[in-house]
Structure 1
């Protein structure tokens, strides 16, 4: 993947989140799955019960949606979760809130960890959808005696030609950082195939991510 400047990830995430919002017109069934996780072996295992959720995008609607869904899933497991948009409301700055101010505010309010959600990349997957065949039923003697019937008898299969279709594939990353040390504690990557809407993709991502964190004893 091409290296980018410090502000580039936020710009990429904003563009991709915007595409997700407009994806409501797509007719594909949404499919989101976690492709891999990593847990820092050098960090002493502990369970975090107070977390700030931060979606790394300057798209206000996307930020609010993703953070809200993650917050809801964490709260269902007894975690005190706060959205970064509540700590730092949207501003005109495309670079986002000052990271030092953000960390200080999180520490002052005694949050143990920060959970980030970022869109790393997107691809267009072109695939061929094969055509279908269907049998044309007839009466017992419907084909006999006339050209029309005879012709239809020998060509009872209707062919529906195939076609090519394009689907978007989004690559997402969720990271958990310790507030005091700022060290990466846990990370998960996932794929989302042509989500029908940001709402559905966000809900599924939050559900899968929080469930996986619980299985790996990152949260209660």
Structure 2
């Protein structure tokens, strides 16, 4: 979970795919008309505060770049937040106090192992010398190491968008969109968060039935 291996954040195959097929599952509330949020909170649910910081920062940054007024959940649910602070009624109160009318909540829902094939590498090595006229040149040989299979963790991420004008107390009524995807291993938490954040926001922005920006 450390590498987000997230974000929390990643409800989508975040590899080299387009935003159109990044989700393995998606639901939009029937007859929901997208609108402009005055202030959209990005809340990453994780016991690891570093994951929360990186994921929320990446998603909020990409929302802001696309004209959406976004705030990070860590601004009102900081490191020292207690378990009671995370109770639905407490979170709802904090959202109201901060005049937040929408919330994008991202969390890890499952992990699974997957088998990945690693291509062999080409190795060049010095093999001797050859004389050409009065000059001597070093020669090189090349071999390829065999490919192999390795096991990696795959993380199933779920993102939920709540429109608090639909309901400020009932999560079921306020839920207007949910998406789920898988995220593989990344060299760093920051890389995973940035990749997920870009693709998630792009998907939400490209589908006008989900999210409009303040610039529209």
TM-score between both structures, scaled by the size of structure 1: 0.69
Tell me: CA distance 1:45–1:157, structure 2 relative to 1, closer, same or farther (3 Å).
closer
Of the three residues 115, 118, 121, the one matched with 2:104 is: 115
1:77 maps to 2:66: yes
Of the three residues 187, 198, 201, the one matched with 2:192 is: 201
Offset of residue 112 of structure 1? 1.5
Contact 2:102 2:163 in 1 (8 A): yes
Q: Which residue of 1 aligns with 2:181?
A: 190
2:111, 2:55 → 1: CA distance? 18
Tell me: CA distance 1:131–1:175, structure 2 relative to 1, closer, same or farther (3 Å).
same
Once the two structures are superposed, the pairs formed by residues 14-163 of structure 1 within 5 Å of their partners are: 16=1, 18-20=2-4, 31=15, 34-36=22-24, 37-91=26-80, 93=82, 97-129=86-118, 160-163=145-148
Offset of residue 78 of structure 1? 2.1
Helix, strand or coil at the partner of 1:91? coil
1:72, 1:131 → 2: CA distance? 38
Q: Which residue of 1 aligns with 2:149?
A: 164
Q: Which has the higher strand share?
A: 2
Offset of residue 117 of structure 1? 0.8
Q: Which residue of 2 aligns with 1:219?
A: 212
Q: Which residue of 2 aligns with 1:13?
A: none
Offset of residue 133 of structure 1? 8.5
TM-score between both structures, scaled by the size of structure 2: 0.70
1:173 maps to 2:173: no
> Which structure has the bigger radius of gyration?
1
Q: Which has the higher helix share?
A: 1
Tell me: CA distance 1:163–1:91, structure 2 relative to 1, closer, same or farther (3 Å).
same
Q: Which residue of 2 aligns with 1:151?
A: none
Q: Which residue of 1 aligns with 2:136?
A: none
Tell me: CA distance 1:129–1:159, structure 2 relative to 1, closer, same or farther (3 Å).
same
Uncovered stretches (5+) of structure 2, i.e. residues with no partner:
6-13, 128-140
- Residues 157-201 of structure 1, C-alpha deviations (whole Å, 9 max, x = no match): 956333221222111111101224132111222222211111111
The alignment of Structure 1 onto Structure 2 pairs a total of residues equal to 181
